[in-house]
Amino acid sequence: MSSDQDLVVETVRDILSAFPPFVLTGDRRWDDGLWAALAEAGLTGVGLPESSGGSGGELADAVAIVRTLAAGAAAVPVAEHLLVAGPAVVARDLDLPAPDEPMTVAVAPGVTAHASDDGDGPGRFTLSGTAEITWAGIARHAALLTSGPAGPVLALVTLAGLSVEPAVNLAGEPRGSVVLDGVAAAGALLTPAQASELRARFALARAVQLAAALEQVLAWTVQYAGERQQFGRPLGKFQAIQMELAEMAGEVTAVTALTDAAVQAVERGSADLVLACAAAKVRAGAAVEVVARLAHQVHGAIGFTQEHKLHHLTRRLWAWRDEAGSELTWAPVLAAGLLDDGPDGLWPALTRVV
């Protein structure tokens, strides 16, 4: 991590220290105070070019922000906003909404986009259909991957004023169903490859969040095992517990290494970007079962309650692994891509992707 990113992380941590995680409820569905503080500091524009109204900086800076907030179980749509929707909108030359207005992203195969004009580039579209949107009811804007008669369309829709059928994920984060009935939106035609990349970057955003949360869960569990005394000594002195913590460390370390590599693949515009993101999401998703299970086992009954902080991250782990495509979605994509040059091309592909 560069010293720039160290500084960013320190700033985010400072802000976050005033906004501890809480149980999300219908009355308090997200942390609007935290979002306002992040926006005030310019952090909701990081990684987006200043010429588009962003704060500038690299993708790595935005990733560092998302990691820090994910480890803190922050209830803000920053992963969607900074890592997926923002870069997609900028890449397609659509007008970036003001960075202090939360923007989310959704893959919306049930929404069709019909061009309202004959423009080739950025144009106007009319959207019809139903979309499942993370942070619906919270986010002001959504970048939707829709389908049009000429191929996939990235549509930037303003959610304010649209009715939401509210729902929540396992962590209580808002996920809702939005009916679009002839809604006008700015949009751009995508090539199939660009549409794949958008899906992959969404998966990578979740992998980045998973990696950070997995690391934090390990750190909490190691700390707890060092403090909790049973039979006259700390839990961490028992070999059975040490084996479990070492197994967790192996999983966490593997996820971090692959996720970092996938972020680098995106940064350098790798031709294998989709496969790198797919691999990161599959590996991160697979680690959740082991790490969350063992973390709860070591924490004992207190970790199974809302009295203890552990659930803020384990419930997010269980939710995030199935969002933006689970292992079931991405493992076949990864395998098919690795076999692009036939079975004898598998090894060359494995050594090329990341």
Partner 1 sequence: MSSLLGLAPAPRSEAAEQVRAEVREFLAAELAGGTFTTHVDTWLSGVDPAFSRKLGERGWLGMTWPCRYGGHERSAMERYAVTEELLAAGAPVAAHWIADRQSGPNLLRYGTEEQRQSILPRIAAGECYFVIGMSEPDSGSDLASIRTRAVRNGSGDWVVNGAKVWTSNAHVSHYAITLVRTSPADPSNRHAGLSQLLVDLSLPGITVNPIRILDGGHHFNEVVFDDVVVPGDMLLGTEGDGWHQVTAELAFERSGPERFLSTYPLVAEFARRLGASPDPAGLATLGRLSARLLALRQLSLRIAAALDRGELPDIPAALVKDVGTTFEGDVIEEIRRVVEVTPSLSSPDPLARALAEAQLHAPGYTLRGGTNEILRGIVARGLGLR
Residue span binding partner 1 (CB under 8 A) among the ranges 74-82, 87-95, 184-192, 215-223: 215-223
- Choose, by CB under 8 A, the member of 139, 178, 210, 218 that binds partner 1: 218
- Choose, by CB under 8 A, the member of 36, 98, 150, 350 that binds partner 1: 350
Nearest CB to partner 1, comparing residues 125 and 202: 202
Strand partners, 106: 144
Rg (CA), the chain: 21
- Check residue 243 for interaction with partner 1 (CB under 8 A): yes
Nearest CB to partner 1, comparing residues 157 and 333: 333
- Check residue 331 for interaction with partner 1 (CB under 8 A): yes
- Choose, by CB under 8 A, the member of 34, 85, 274, 353 that binds partner 1: 353
CB 213 → partner 1: shortest distance, Å? 12
Tell me the two tokens of residue 265: 């693949």
CB 224 → partner 1: shortest distance, Å? 11
Contact 234, 226 (CB under 8 A): yes
- Check residue 210 for interaction with partner 1 (CB under 8 A): no
- Amino acid present at 211: A
Nearest CB to partner 1, comparing residues 116 and 242: 242
Contact 8, 61 (CB under 8 A): yes
- Give the helix, strand, coil percentages of the chain, each rounded to 5: 55, 20, 25
- Check residue 25 for interaction with partner 1 (CB under 8 A): no
Nearest CB to partner 1, comparing residues 44 and 259: 259
CB 337 → partner 1: shortest distance, Å? 9
Phi/psi of residue 150, each to 5°? -100, 5
Helix 192-227 × helix 310-320 angle, to 10°: 150
Distance between CA 255 and CA 208 in Å, rounded?
A: 9
Nearest CB to partner 1, comparing residues 189 and 207: 207
Phi/psi of residue 178, each to 5°? -120, 125
- Check residue 346 for interaction with partner 1 (CB under 8 A): yes
- Check residue 322 for interaction with partner 1 (CB under 8 A): no
Distance between CA 126 and CA 118 in Å, rounded?
A: 13
Residue span binding partner 1 (CB under 8 A) among the ranges 79-87, 114-122, 185-193, 245-253: 245-253
Picking from 132, 148, 158, the residue whose alpha carbon sits closest to that of residue 325 is 132
- Choose, by CB under 8 A, the member of 250, 267, 271, 293 that binds partner 1: 250
CB 333 → partner 1: shortest distance, Å? 7
Residue span binding partner 1 (CB under 8 A) among the ranges 133-141, 161-169, 188-196, 222-230: 222-230
What sign does the CA torsion over 140, 182, 93, 333 have?
A: positive
Distance between CA 196 and CA 333 in Å, rounded?
A: 10
- Choose, by CB under 8 A, the member of 61, 173, 215, 323 that binds partner 1: 215
- Choose, by CB under 8 A, the member of 19, 30, 224, 330 that binds partner 1: 330
Distance between CA 227 and CA 146 in Å, rounded?
A: 51
Distance between CA 20 and CA 197 in Å, rounded?
A: 34
Count of residues that bind partner 1 according to CB under 8 A = 54
Nearest CB to partner 1, comparing residues 131 and 279: 279
Degrees to nearest 5, angle at CA 334 with 330 and 340: 145
- Please report, for residues 3, 38, 57, the alpha-carbon distance to residue 8 in angstroms, rounded to integers and kept in the order given: 9, 11, 10
Contact 325, 145 (CB under 8 A): no
Residue with tokens 């992380």: 9
Contacting partner 1 within 254-293 (CB under 8 A):
254-258, 260-261, 264, 278-280, 282-283, 286
Chain contacts with partner 1 (rule: CB under 8 A): 215, 218-219, 222, 225-226, 236-237, 239, 241-243, 245-247, 249-258, 260-261, 264, 278-280, 282-283, 286, 327-328, 330-336, 338-339, 343-344, 346-348, 350-351, 353-354
